[in-house]
Amino acid sequence: MSMRRYLPILDWGRRYDRATLSNDLVAAAIVTIMLIPQSLAYALLAGLPPEAGLYASIVPILLYAVFGTSRTLAVGPVAVVSLMTAAALGHVAEQGTMGYAAAALTLAALSGAILVAMGLMRLGFLANFLSHPVIAGFITASAILIALGQLGHLMGIGGGGDTLIELAETVWHGLPDTNPITLSIGVAAVSFLFWARRGLGPLLVKVGLGPRLAETLTKAGPVAAVAATTLAVWALDLSSRGVAIVGDVPQSLPPLTLPDVDPDLVSQLLLPALLISVIGFVESISVAQTLGAKRRERVDPDQELIGLGAANIGAGFTGGLPVTGGFSRSVVNFDAGARTPAAGAFTALGLAIAALALTPLIHFLPKATLAATIIVAVLGLVDLGVLYRSWAYSKADFAAVAATMLLTLTFGVEFGVSGGVALSILLYLFKTSRPHVAEVGRVPGTEHFRNIHRHAVQTDPRVVTLRIDESLYFANARFLEDLILARVARDKAVRHVILQCAAVNEVDLSALESLEAINGRLAEMDVKLHLSEVKGPVMDRLKRSALLADLTGRVYLSQHDAINDIIPETPSQARACAPT
Amino acid sequence: MSMRRYLPILDWGRRYDRATLSNDLVAAAIVTIMLIPQSLAYALLAGLPPEAGLYASIVPILLYAVFGTSRTLAVGPVAVVSLMTAAALGHVAEQGTMGYAAAALTLAALSGAILVAMGLMRLGFLANFLSHPVIAGFITASAILIALGQLGHLMGIGGGGDTLIELAETVWHGLPDTNPITLSIGVAAVSFLFWARRGLGPLLVKVGLGPRLAETLTKAGPVAAVAATTLAVWALDLSSRGVAIVGDVPQSLPPLTLPDVDPDLVSQLLLPALLISVIGFVESISVAQTLGAKRRERVDPDQELIGLGAANIGAGFTGGLPVTGGFSRSVVNFDAGARTPAAGAFTALGLAIAALALTPLIHFLPKATLAATIIVAVLGLVDLGVLYRSWAYSKADFAAVAATMLLTLTFGVEFGVSGGVALSILLYLFKTSRPHVAEVGRVPGTEHFRNIHRHAVQTDPRVVTLRIDESLYFANARFLEDLILARVARDKAVRHVILQCAAVNEVDLSALESLEAINGRLAEMDVKLHLSEVKGPVMDRLKRSALLADLTGRVYLSQHDAINDIIPETPSQARACAPT
């Protein structure tokens, strides 16, 4: 039982049959073709040699197939995580050095260890502290940074910079050095890829292909761009005219590598690894759950942490870089009919063959083509509409989106995501620290009590009833104290205060002490404090305190009971008032 | 009007009369006698020359009298803030150097500027994020650290160390160097001061003094200890036998000093200054509010920030150290009959005279006596009972108390208070991230719906009603998604899910997106989603979203309406079931 919990492969593996196999094989073939250029491109985005991207898509996929719970998630290097990898490694080593590649291994292994630890401790819920506005703002801003960063490669001047301003400066200062041939290749590739997304499928159908085959071939658009530009560079000897090419890529299966465990390096990479883990997990789990829901397959967040953790540890030991479940490749895998993680295993096999046999063919592949692939992929992630949607719904959510975007663009990915999380927590605390409190009165002829400012209700000058629309805890305890004392101080007729607590889900020790203080100060003013509609769990806890013994008033099950008991003559008044 | 808001002195100053004057003068005389040894002692605790304590009790008190709103708060150096000052200055300079005293001025001015800024921006509520458990744990742990730190002075070996372990080591290694004469003076002073608190008053009454005079003279206990030990050291020439004395103290009014505004120093002191401001404000405001409530005098938190800020800026420009409102001296001031802040001004006058005329008299004052004063004062702050009280009430609050104490004792005051705040916020978020959700059914014969696990209620296999006892926001959005989908997935008969939202005070954008996802996934399972008892403000906001249009079910005003509409035949079933 426990074995099956931690090894989902035991579950689906036993029921594997020929029909599933053929579905999985077809999907694997399509995904492999899609992943070859993507893997190379995201390795370059992370500042690593292109083969690292291939390696990161072989063993990690196999490990995820063993430990992961999603049937169709495709794991490998993805854009945002590769950008975060580049930012993290930039602090500890120079791009292109041995130390840089070694640090990438440490980062992947560290991130894997964090994910596995979180999974074993069942801390998957921690990802919830990344609110949707923060994620949306972060992904959009990252995509803009990535696209801008690739502009340099498109112009043949190289990339550089972690923030919008640094990247813009690099491009601006590089303008005079633009290589026109590189730029032409890049622009052509970008145009072709954008066109291929929408125009290639219909065209293929027009020339007589079946719609399904046409759609599959559309996925090969990037491969076509790679093949065409590589051929052009080779045939016209463009690399001698300044076009940057990928160059020699070793013909090899993933090597066995040992991550550097130097304590200094580990401590420098710990925080970035944590951020990468959390961002990667959030991206991955939402893809996995979306696809899982479509086929009623269950995805277990805690086991997903273990699956992704194993994949990243695998990446750290086989020359890779941090990986996670990618959105577009998983959708392609799903649409292509993948049934089980075995499809992933076959994809890994396909990429292993590519790493062994096809690498000589990409010697002349221009980096501008890879940059074009990245730009087209990430521009699909830019969602500026979230600014409008959040503004329409709530200013606090808008503030979180806008601040996360601004912080990410201005100070880079690490500051952006941590700042966004901190800000959304602060905004939430701020909101709950000034809770909505309504003074209520009885709706004539009913047992209902409503806001005196919204409804025509009956009240008694001797009684103030306040409905508290928030849990009481340290951040709003003093607010409540001030509010009640101010309300009573300006109205000498008041003899009773009733707190209607139906929406109070929690009273912590600070709030308890505030209630005791309110009770004491009201007593000095000769005003009684009553509670009504206290929830079961809250009441259980209040019974363990001195408040109920000290309370000058009583605790009532309903607000109706409270009013009837405190001013017994009210019902007749109510009847008298009702006709007016 | 606005002038009077920012200058409360305009309010009470106009109505000042002779009766008030005589009350204020008596209180000022008593407080002055009490403050002389305290000021010297807390300056030493902060690592500064003794006169800094006197200076910090003159101009700051005058400025608070102009800007503060409490009638009886006594401002000056206090134990916990002086300890925090020592910890902050320890990072930037060596005790006893010019740089150290200069940094104290910067710290005071910086802290004053922060307080004034918070007051002008009306950010007094920020202090609410220090929960009662964190404050209680912090004050108790600080008092223990302070007492232990003074033990070294009592033994004549000097103090040293920011944490329990460092302080214990200092004492332990210093044991062989203990100066027996110093220790005798210290132990005698501590014993006398403890006895004076309880025994001196009754004794004076017994010898024929009036109870009020006896009580007043009790307050002079520390002054008596100072006088007696100073005399002893001078008469017996004990300073030549190794008893550490205060030494030369300049005979001067507070000097005009300019705080060092070196950017490096300012940036190093910024965070400590913020912590000192917040801790000082929280201590001060609770004293001010407690005393204010006793005489129905209003204390305005935002104006208090300005008053304390002005006092600290004053301390920075007149050779002082960070100050705040002290508990015991304010209570003495209140009990002695102070009516207005003019009492504070007279206290300042008294201390100015002391600084001018009495300083030669304290040349032979042994430091051990001051240490004894501090120890006796702070041991009153130690409240280990809070551990028991919080344990009995709630484990989360206990965790906050215990962790704050442990962090403060183990890593020092700065880490302790920031760790405590972070922890209590995390605990709160953790609690709200796993909200209480109850499945409810109808109590037979009523319109009430209760937890199916606590009450005998009627349910229908086709309908699941979940009452959500928490606001929905990013930290619990996914939790709700998982919970609902898991509940529906294991029960094929379910056709309707109703979310009873009476306790939902807020639905943020993340939760809205989760509700949309829940709605969509339930639709794929052919299950309808309904909402009931949605609050006005929440509904207003949902109307601005697409959720209500996409919802497969309906929104009902009451849970009763929802059930009647969804399964109209239920009432007859209910009647059929009720007798069983």
**What does the pLDDT read at residue A85?**
94
Token pair 């035949």 in the structure block, residue:
B569
**Res B2: pLDDT:** 66
The model's pLDDT over A310-349, given as tens digits with 9 standing for 90+, comes to 999 999 999 999 999 988 889 888 888 888 888 999 999 9
Question: Which chain A residue has the Cα nearest residue B522?
Answer: A293
DSSP A536-567: HHHHHHHTTSSHHHH-SS-EESSHHHHHHHHS
Q: Which of A112-116, A319-323, A456-460, B123-127 has the lowest mean pLDDT?
A: B123-127
Give the CATH number for residue B482: 3.30.750.24
Final residue belonging to a domain, choices B380, B400, B420: B400
The predicted-structure confidence for B29-45, as pLDDT tens digits, reads as follows 888 888 888 899 999 89
Distance from A374 to chain B by nearest Cα, in Å? 28
Half-sphere exposure of B261 (CA within 13 A, CB side): 5
Please determine, for residue B77, whether its predicted confidence score (pLDDT) is greater than 80.
yes
Higher pLDDT, B580 or B499: B499
Which of A505, A515, A547 to mutate: most B Cβ within 10 Å?
A505
Residue B424 with chain A: CB contacts under 8 Å: 474
Q: Is residue A372 one of the residues assigned to a domain?
A: yes
Predicted confidence (pLDDT) per residue in B407-462, tens digit: 999 998 888 888 888 888 888 888 888 888 889 998 888 777 888 888 888 888 89
Interface contact B479-A544, CB threshold 8 A? no
Domain boundary among A356, A380, A401: A401
Q: What is the pLDDT of residue A223?
A: 87
Across chain B, how many H-helices and E-strands are there?
A: 27, 8
DSSP one-letter string for B143-178: HHHHHHHHHHHHHTS----SSHHHHHHHHHHHGGG-
Q: Are residues A220 and A145 in the same domain?
A: yes
Residues B490 and B348 in one domain: no
- Domain assignment present for residue B420? The answer is no
pLDDT score for B530: 96
Residue at B355 is within a domain: yes
Distance from CA of A198 to the nearest CA of B (A): 27
3-state secondary structure of A186: helix
Q: What is the DSSP letter of A177?
A: G
Local structure of residue B256 (DSSP, 8 states): P
Shortest CA distance from A535: residue in chain B: B469
pLDDT at A574: 39
B391, B473: one domain: no
A452 with A345, same domain?
A: no
Q: Which residue of B has its CA nearest to A504?
A: B503
What pLDDT shows up at residue B580? 30
Looking at beta carbons, which residues of chain A come within 8 Å of B433?
125, 128-129
Which residues in chain A touch residue B513, judged by CB atoms under 8 angstroms apart?
A: 132
Q: Which residues of B touch A488 (CB under 8 A)?
A: none
For residue B323, is pLDDT > 90? yes
Each residue's pLDDT tens digit, A203-260 = 888 888 888 788 778 878 888 898 999 999 999 988 888 888 888 888 888 888 888 8
How close A213 comes to chain B (CA, Å)?
A: 28
Q: Which residues of B99-138 are buried (b: 16+ CB within 10 A; e: fewer)?
A: ebbbbbbbbbbbbbbbbbebbeeeebbbbbbbbbbbbbbb
Contacts of A433 (CB under 8 A, 6+ apart): A475, A476, A479, B125, B128, B129
Which residues of B are less than 8 Å from A396 in CB distance?
508
ipTM for the predicted complex comes to 0.75
Q: Which of A294, A296, A304, A393 to mutate to test the interface with B (most CBs of B within 10 A)?
A: A393
Residue of A475, A508, A537 with shortest CB distance to B129: A475
Could A293 and B524 be called an inter-chain contact, meaning their C-beta atoms sit closer than 8 Å? yes
| Mean pLDDT computed over every residue of chain B | 87
Separation between Cα atoms, residue B535 and residue B531, nearest integer Å: 11
CB contact under 8 A, A521 and B293: yes
Q: pLDDT (tens digit, 9 = 90+) per residue, A386-432?
A: 899 889 888 888 998 999 999 999 998 888 888 888 888 888 888 88
Structure tokens that stand for A287 in this block = 């893809």
Shortest alpha-carbon distance between residue B478 and chain A (Å): 7
Where do we find the tokens 């209902």?
A448
CB B131 to CB A509 under 8 A? Answer: yes
Q: Is the pLDDT of residue B574 over 50?
A: no
All residues of chain B having their beta carbon less than 8 Å from the beta carbon of residue A492 are none
Residue B74 lies in a domain: yes
Tell me which chain A residues have a C-beta less than 8 angstroms from the C-beta of B451. Answer: 536
Calculate mean pLDDT across residues B324-348.
88
- From the list A293, A454, A473, the residue facing B428 with the nearest CB is A473
Q: Does A218 lie in the same domain as A150?
A: yes
CA distance B320 to chain A (A): 32
Residue A387 within any structural domain of the chain: yes
Domain count, chain B: 2
pLDDT at A158 over 80: no
Chain B residues within 8 A of A292 when measuring between CB atoms: none
Q: Within this chain, do residues A461 and A362 fall inside the same structural domain, yes or no?
A: no
Asked if residue B451 and residue B392 are part of one domain, the reply reads no
Q: How far is B476 from chain A (nearest CA, A)?
A: 7
CB contact under 8 A, B435 and A521: no
A:B CB pairs within 8 Å: 162
Average pLDDT over residues A441-450: 84
Q: What is the pLDDT of residues B449-461, one digit of tens each?
A: 888 888 888 888 8
| Token digits of residue A71 | 């049937």
Determine the residue of chain B that is closest to A509 in CA distance: B397
Which residues of chain B make contact with A443, given a CB cutoff of 8 A?
none
Chain CA centroid to CA A185, Å: 34
At B364, list the tokens: 């032979």
Question: A569: pLDDT confidence band, cut at 50, 70 and 90?
Answer: low
Average pLDDT in the A183-210 region? 88
* Chain A hits for B394, Cβ within 8 Å: 508-509, 541
pLDDT mean over B223-245: 90
**Residues of chain B found within 8 Å of residue A535, distances taken between Cβ atoms:** 469, 503
pLDDT digits (tens, 9 = 90+) for A481-522: 888 988 888 888 899 999 999 888 889 888 998 899 899 888
The shortest CB-CB distance from B394 to any of A429, A502, A509 is to A509
Q: What is the pLDDT of residues B168-185, one digit of tens each?
A: 888 888 888 889 999 999
- Statement to judge: residues A311 and A441 lie in one domain: no
* Residue A63 and residue A17 share a domain: yes
Q: Is the pLDDT score of B143 beyond 80?
A: yes
CB contact under 8 A, B428 and A524: no
Question: What is the pLDDT at residue B52?
Answer: 94
Q: By CA distance, what is B534's nearest residue in A?
A: A503
For residue A282, give the 3-state DSSP assignment.
Answer: helix
Is pLDDT above 70 for B373? Answer: yes
* B385 contacts on A by Cβ (under 8 Å): none
Please, which pLDDT band fits residue A115 given cuts at 50, 70 and 90?
Answer: very high
Q: Of B129, B394, B424, which has the smallest distance from its Cβ to A541's Cβ?
A: B394
Alpha-carbon distance A226 to A39, whole Å? 13
Q: B125–A479: do the CB atoms touch at under 8 Å? A: yes
Average pLDDT, chain A: 87
A255 assigned to some structural domain: yes
* Phi (first) and psi of residue B437, to 5 degrees: -125, 125
Best of A508, A522, A559 to substitute, by most chain B Cβ atoms within 10 angstroms, is: A508
Chain B's closest residue to A387, CA to CA, is B509
Are B511 and B393 in a shared domain? no
- Inter-chain CB proximity A424 and B392 less than 8 Å: no
- Residue A379: both structure tokens together: 């521009």
**A287 and A332 within one domain:** yes
Same domain, A48 and A184: yes
Nearest to A542 by CA among A511, A498, A500: A511
Residue A432 lies in a domain: no
Cβ neighbours of A392 in B, within 8 Å: 544-545
Q: Which of A128, A301, A389 sits opposite B475 (nearest CB)?
A: A128
For position A287, what pLDDT does the model report? 85
Q: State pLDDT tens for residues A118-148.
A: 999 888 777 777 888 888 899 899 999 989 9
End-of-domain residue from the set B379, B400, B421: B400
pLDDT given for residue A2 in this prediction: 67
Query: Smallest Cβ distance to A129: which of B129, B294, B429?
Result: B429
* Range of the structural domain that residue B132 is part of: 2-400
**Chain B residues lying within 8 Å of A424, measured CB to CB:** 474
Contact A477 B132 (CB under 8 A): yes
- At A572, is the pLDDT very low, low, confident or very high (cuts 50, 70, 90)? very low
Query: Tell me: the pLDDT tens digits for A536-562?
Result: 888 988 998 889 999 999 999 888 889
Which residue, among A423, A480, A510, A514, would best test binding to B if mutated, counting the most B CBs under 10 Å from its CB? Answer: A510
Across the interface, whether the CB atoms of A503 and B502 are under 8 A apart is answered yes
Residue A580 scores a pLDDT above 80? no
Contact across the interface for A474 and B130, Cβ inside 8 Å: yes
Q: Distances in Å between the alpha carbon of A79 and those of B12, B29, B120, B160?
A: 66, 73, 45, 52
Q: Among A393, A428, A485, whose Cβ lies nearest the Cβ of B545?
A: A393
pLDDT digits (tens, 9 = 90+) for A34-63: 888 889 999 989 999 999 999 999 999 999
- Give the whole-angstrom CA distance, residue A357 versus residue A252: 8
- Residue B213, pLDDT score: 81
Contact across the interface for A502 and B503, Cβ inside 8 Å: yes
- pLDDT band for position B1 (cuts 50, 70, 90): low
- Report yes or no on A424 lying in a domain: no
Chain-chain contact of B505 with A436 (C-beta, under 8 angstroms): yes
Q: Chain B residues with CB inside 8 Å of A512's CB?
A: 393
For the question of whether the overall pTM of this predicted structure is more than 0.90, the answer is no
Q: What is the pLDDT of residue A229?
A: 93
Helical segments of B252-366, H only? 263-294, 301-317, 327-335, 342-353
Q: Which residue of A has its CA nearest to B293?
A: A521
User: What local confidence, expressed as pLDDT, does residue A322 receive?
Assistant: 96
